[in-house]
Structure 1
Amino acid sequence: MRPYSLDLRQKIIDVYIEGNTSQRQIAQQFRVAYSFVRKLIKQYRETGEIAPKRRTEQTPTKLSNEQLEILKTIAESNHDATLAELCDLLEQRVGVRIG
């Protein structure tokens, strides 16, 4: 899911700063989740920023480079296998279960 635009974020903050509207009403007015409005306002108060947060860490892969090569070989030799079958074959070969 893509982050909401800066334009929308700024409009939400502008309505919030006016002070006449609750966070729930703002969420309804802009048709966004209340939790988004709450988090955006919290971020604005703490940092003064409204831009979407950047992901700083990539989730590490469960497989080593060697295991990835084995998976590639399995996939090439079983080109008509389903994803579940490939997962089973990899688990049998290297002992790691992926989904």
Structure 2
Amino acid sequence: MPAPYSTDLRQRVINAYESKQGSQRQLAERFQVSVSFIKRLIRRYRDTGQVTSLPHGGGAIAKIRNSSLAVIEQLVDEQPDAILEELCSGFAAKSGVEVSVTTMHRAVQRLKLTTKKNTIC
């Protein structure tokens, strides 16, 4: 994800817009930004009086936190030949949190552990 435009650039755009140095499209060409950026910046400036960029919106919250990694490590120690599905069900029984096989795989990788890839009957 690219970094937000600098506050200096944003302020220069607003100053140029307020002093009527061109249309929004002309300002976009002059400052080499998109027209949608100009529109959003002007709207934000009118609504809040700020030109600074908005903070990052965040992301998905991890289902397996660092404090829960010990539970997974214990499960692998108890049953080293367990497959990921078995670890998922064991983790759900101990913590009450159901996770996918992919999530469990990432947690096991984070712990630098290995698991059995498939069951051979």
TM over 0.5: yes
Residue by residue, what CA displacement relative to the aligned partner does 1:28-79 show, whole Å, maximum 9, x if unpaired? 0000011111100000111110001123x5323353334567533246327x
Provide the TM-score with structure 2 as the length reference.
Answer: 0.54
**Runs of 5+ unmatched residues, structure 2:** 69-98
Matched, 1:64 2:99: no
Residue by residue, what CA displacement relative to the aligned partner does 1:1-23 show, whole Å, maximum 9, x if unpaired? 11111111111001100124110
Paired residues in the alignment total 79
Could you tell me how far apart the structure 2 residues matched to 1:74 and 1:13 are? 48
Q: Specify the alignment match of 1:35 in structure 2.
A: 36
Could you tell me how far apart the structure 2 residues matched to 1:39 and 1:29 are? 17
Matched letter for residue 34 of structure 1? V
Matched, 1:19 2:54: no
Q: Secondary structure at the match of 1:42?
A: helix
Q: Secondary structure at the match of 2:50?
A: coil
Q: Specify the alignment match of 2:84 in structure 1.
A: none
Provide the TM-score with structure 1 as the length reference.
Answer: 0.64
CA contact 2:64–2:107 (8 Å) conserved in 1: no
Could you tell me how far apart the structure 2 residues matched to 1:40 and 1:74 are? 42
Q: Secondary structure at the match of 2:27?
A: helix
Q: Who wins on radius of gyration, i.e. which is larger?
A: 2
